[in-house]
A and B are shown apart, each in its own frame.
Chain A
Amino acid sequence: MKSDKAMRRMILSIAWILVGAVISVLSIFEMLDSFWSGFGGALVAVGILQLVRHIRYRTNEDYKEKIDTEVNDERNKFISSQAWAWTGYIFVLCAAVGAIVFKIMGKDELCSLCATAICLMAVIYLVSYMILKRKY
């Protein structure tokens, strides 16, 4: 990870903490409902965790080397892209099965939701394919 990228991510983590804190405070004063309180808390927690990781990355050379290797390792990248491909296939299969099952059960709204998800995935795939075709 380049240092300017690491710095940008550190700033982003601080932004998560601030946004989370503001949401939590607004929720405590009942300006937002309780859902936002949990959401704000989660943002603060994620922000703190990310910030700790970034500080460790900047101060611990061994950790930096370990992270850099993990991020740049071509097998990890390959596995990650395969995992995303599997995720897409499994999601579409689940949505297709769901659409059929919900139709049989007479739950038309859920059936439409599954069918819409499949269509959306197909559109995203087509757009991604076109973009990648131009790139490579």
Chain B
Amino acid sequence: MKNKVEELRKQKGIKQEELAKSLCVSRQTISSLERGKYNPSIMLAYKIAKIFDLSIEEVFIFDED
């Protein structure tokens, strides 16, 4: 699943460490998410969307392939 986490994080000017801290996850999780290697749980996806004041669909792009 593709996502806009890196783009949104950079727009807000926050570091991976800062985002990780506010979500109570490791920096590696954020890095893995941004590279599209790890798909988050619905809870984490919700928290991420909430941080950027967006809906889950606006942050994560569902791609069947």
- Chain A residue contacts of B40, Cβ below 8 A: 74
Query: Interface size for chain B: under 10, 10 to 19, 20 to 34, or 35 or more residues?
Result: 10 to 19
Asked if A108 lies at the interface with its beta carbon under 8 angstroms from chain B, I say no
Determine if A76 is an interface residue (Cβ-Cβ < 8 Å): yes
**A69 and B24: CB pair below 8 A?**
yes
Stretch binding the partner chain, chosen from B8-16, B25-33, B55-63: B25-33
| Residues of B near any A CB (own CB < 8 A) | 20, 24-26, 28-29, 32, 38, 40-41, 43-44
Contacts A75-B29, A76-B26 aside, 6 further interface pairs with beta carbons under 8 A come to A69-B26, A74-B25, A74-B43, A75-B25, A75-B26, A76-B29
Q: Ordered nearest first, which 3 A-B pairs have the shortest CB separation? A: A75-B29, A73-B26, A73-B25
Would you give 27 A-B contacts (Cβ < 8 Å), ordered by A? A68-B24, A69-B20, A69-B24, A69-B25, A69-B26, A70-B26, A72-B24, A72-B25, A73-B24, A73-B25, A73-B26, A73-B29, A74-B25, A74-B29, A74-B40, A74-B41, A74-B43, A74-B44, A75-B25, A75-B26, A75-B28, A75-B29, A75-B32, A75-B38, A76-B26, A76-B29, A78-B38
Residues of A within 8 A of B (CB): 68-70, 72-76, 78
